[in-house]
Structure 1
Amino acid sequence: MQKKILVTGGTGFIGSRLVRKLVSGNHQVFALVRKSSSLAPFSGFLDQLRLVEGDVTDPASLDKALSGIDEVYHCAGYTYMGGDRNRDALLYAVNVEGTRHLLRAASRAGVRRVVHMSSITAVGMSGGRTPVDESCEWNFQDLGLTYAETKHKAEIEVHKAVAEGLDCVIINPAFVFGAGDVNFNAGGIIRDVYRRRMPIYPLGGICVVDVEIVVDTAIRAMEAGRTGERYLIGGDNVTYRELADTISRVTGAPRVRVPLPFFLAKPLLSLLKIVDSRKQVSRLFNLSMFRVASEFLYFDASKAERELGMNREPHEFSIRRAFEWYRREGLL
């Protein structure tokens, strides 16, 4: 039987790759879009897609959008880790309240299942280099990262919805590289190493995964994930030095050789502001992001491998594909 599938956040990085994969199937695929949304991410397959106008911050629009829908991939979210407190309200409105609105509308509409696209920041930090799994207790409180707090609270909303009878599965992608990252989220590191705008590296580490693995595993989560469970989607756990070395090797850029402990980050940032070096140094180098990057976010994704058939591949493959896509698109 042909299903009706709705994707929120379909114009975003992961959402657009998910929509691209879904339209190649035999189901009707709908994308929730705002009036201001650019449809460029749907280039090449827009005629295979049905657009529904709405916004996760507008509950009334969701009731109309979810009418008759069988399955929902909730990918809509606001990503910001720059430390600007003026953006906190938007983070909460989209990530927490928007998730609550979406889940309530899905329940009212009789949606069969929702897959909630969360984040590793909703899981926690490993602290050391030993990877943690889905049972990790959230421990971002001391970092003051509002984005992580909103992703954590969004998962609480999902668990409330499950307790009230809605069938939901949570997936937690790691640091995602790949084609389609036009806003240079994780891909910002590739760009900045390539352009020689990243003269230092933080002393922490991160779990890396390719966007296509995230998309494939999200679809498997819809098919086979257990209700109320969360699944980490990740691959190689690498230090930022190792990640920068890989990017240098793939792009041909010089290696990033200077480590920077977090306690030196604040005085260095102050110095950079004085000399106005914004064009020469990565915009990723802000105190909030550097604080997180000084920790280890290492994860064990064996549960997703075991239960959802998640694939693994060396992170260099993903870096290379992303870099080649950026060059083809003229974004570097």
Structure 2
Amino acid sequence: MIAVTGANGLLGSYIVRKLLAEKIPFIALKRSGSDTSLLNDINSQITWRDADVLDLPALHNALQHVSGVIHAAALVSFNPRDKKKLFAANIEGTKNMVNACLLLGITRFLHISSVAALGRLNGQRVITEENKWTDSTLNSAYAESKYRAELEVFRGQEEGLSTVIVNPSVILSRSDWNRSSSQLFKYVWNQRPFYIDGSLNYVDVRDLSEAIVRLYQSDFEGERFILNAGSIPYHDFFAAVAKQFNRTPPRIKLSKTMLTWLARAERVRSALTGANPLITPETARLAGTSFFYSNQKISAALNMAFQPIEQSIDWCCDWYKAQAGKK
């Protein structure tokens, strides 16, 4: 029996769907009272257990009769004031999951990390699984939290847990476009005028969930795999989405200086209103960078072929258009 943490989230919900389609037994973990609307159509087929990854007693109860874990629960934020929350959810939460597995004799642990955990340096272009973390102004607090979470997984491997780590890039998905990477589609739908230099590394959630389940079932252990289909300039991505939406694409390129000033203004607005800033100093520093995350390792390991970007955009946009039409 597999336990999936964060099963009600953007990625977790697709992992659940994949496990159901493959008829693989699982239980779904979520925090008490959290939203499960992404799985409304199949909710009756899911066995839910409530457990916060920061609540060890609850985790021990929820993980009874489980042989393996797919750990998808995480917090994603680039807001500087969320640093403590990031470290708690992503580092302490992963530490608790690893410790619970070791204590309960759970043998398999697949951890969903991020390409951000691989680190970034100025002048670097291609990043592989062999990349070594180096402190850099290009690494956000979120990136550090995911890197330090991986250290907990590596510790678990040393202590007898069979582990594998996946490092996805930006996930293209049909989901709530007010959350996470799906906000990219809402940005275009709302006909925002600005775009930035640099490129978007992306992976279709359907490819990602398939790779996760296959890696969980594989003999690989003590390894990490980048899950990235490709890279596309932000300008081209926004233009392709706008074409599908029949919207005007962003046409004004923001310079680094403009982004820096905008981030400062957003910090003030956020402090006054309590709303999350649209741009932060961390995201401003990353603007204009063009890293490429190599997918050679996963392609060879699973003979993996990824969805073309055109098909991923069409698939996502068709759904978002239908959802917008219901409102």
Indicate whether the TM-score tops 0.5.
yes
Is the CA contact 1:124–1:136 (under 8 Å) kept in the aligned structure 2? Answer: yes
1:147 equivalent among 131, 142, 162: 142
Q: CA deviation at 1:185?
A: 1.7
Match of residue 260, structure 1, among 227, 237, 254: 254
**Matching residue of 2:230:** 236
The answer to whether the 8 Å contact 2:264/2:280 transfers is: no
Q: CA deviation at 1:77?
A: 0.3
Rounded Cα–Cα distance in structure 2 between residues aligned with 1:76 and 1:175: 16
Matched AA of 2:290: F
Deviation at 1:286, TM superposition (A): 3.5
Contact kept in structure 2, 1:126 and 1:296, CA below 8 Å:
no
State how far apart, in whole Å, the 2-side matches of 1:107 and 1:62 are: 12
2:95 aligned to which of 87, 93, 100: 100
* Residue of 26, 43, 47 corresponding to 1:46: 43
Shift of residue 192, structure 1, vs aligned partner: 1.0
Of 289, 294, 298 in structure 2, the residue corresponding to residue 300 of structure 1 is 294
Q: How does 1:157-306 map to 2 (within 5 A)?
A: 157-197=152-192, 199-224=193-218, 226-269=220-263, 284-306=278-300
For the 8 Å contact 1:74–1:114, the answer to whether it is kept is yes
Contact map agreement 2:264 2:281 (CA 8 A) in 1: no
Stretch deviating more after TM superposition (120-129 or 316-325): 120-129
Task: Write out aligned runs for 1:75-154 (5 A).
Answer: 75-83=72-80, 85=81, 87-125=82-120, 127=122, 130-139=125-134, 141-143=136-138, 145-154=140-149
1:30 shift after superposition: 0.5
d(CA) in 2 for partners of 1:190, 1:168: 34
The residue aligned with 1:325 is 319
Shift of 1:46: 1.5
- CA-based RMSD of the aligned residues comes to 2.4
Whether contact under 8 Å (1:128, 1:296) holds in the other structure is no
Is the partner of 1:238 in helix, strand or coil? strand
Deviation, 1:123, is 1.1
Distance change >3 Å, CA 271–CA 155, structure 1 → 2: closer
Q: Which residue of 2 aligns with 1:15?
A: 12
**Match in the other structure for 2:273:** none
SS in 1 for 2:126: coil
**1:10/1:273 Cα in 2 relative to 1: closer, same or farther (>3 Å)?**
closer
With normalisation by structure 2, the TM-score equals: 0.90
Count matched residues.
321
- SS of 2:70's equivalent in the other structure is strand
User: If the length of structure 1 is used for normalisation, what is the TM-score?
Assistant: 0.89
Query: How much has 1:209 moved relative to structure 2?
Result: 0.9
Counterpart-to-counterpart distance in 1, 2:121 and 2:305: 22
Give 5+ residue unaligned stretches, structure 1: 277-281
User: How much identity, in percent, do the aligned residues show?
Assistant: 28
After TM superposition, give the deviation of residue 139 of structure 1 in Å. 4.0
Judging changes above 3 Å, is the alpha-carbon distance between structure 1 residues 160 and 149 closer, same or farther for their aligned structure 2 residues?
Answer: same
Runs of 5+ consecutive residues of structure 2 not aligned to the other structure:
271-275
